């Protein structure tokens, strides 16, 4: 019984940790002085961030419909999490 409780706690802790590791492109849109970007600067930043993060599970750039779908969702949804950078 104790083993089950410990395993459940471990799985929960690992799941929460990975959720905190993901940030959205909108959350990363912060100027050098720490203030949130606004207007065209924010739009441009989010577009570039989404394009840079459009990678498959092997780290290769997405192509075609997959890339178009990913970019549309990433740019439209502030809560859409871009994967962490791989470099």
Q: For the whole model, what pTM was predicted?
A: 0.62
Quote the pLDDT of residue 1: 82
What's CA 34's distance to the chain center, in Å? 19
Closest CA to 41 of 33, 30, 51, 50: 30
The span from the CA of 26 to the CA of 44, in Å, is 11
Averaged pLDDT in 10-residue chunks for the chain of 87 residues: 76 52 78 90 92 90 93 79 55
Which pLDDT value is given to residue 44? 93
What is the C-alpha to C-alpha distance for residues 74 and 45, in angstroms, rounded to an integer? 12
User: Any idea what DSSP says for residue 59?
Assistant: S
pLDDT of residue 65: 95
- Decide if 82 contacts 76 (C-beta within 8 A): no
């Amino acid at each position: 019984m104790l083993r089950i409780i410990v395993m459940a706690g471990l799985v929960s802790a690992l799941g929460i940790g990975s959720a905190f590791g993901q940030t959205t492109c909108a959350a990363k849109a912060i100027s050098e002085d720490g203030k949130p970007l606004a207007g065209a600067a924010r739009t441009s930043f989010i577009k570039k961030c989404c394009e840079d993060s459009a990678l498959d599970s092997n780290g290769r750039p997405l192509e075609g419909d997959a890339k178009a779908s990913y970019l549309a969702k990433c740019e439209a949804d502030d809560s859409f999490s871009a994967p962490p950078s791989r470099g």
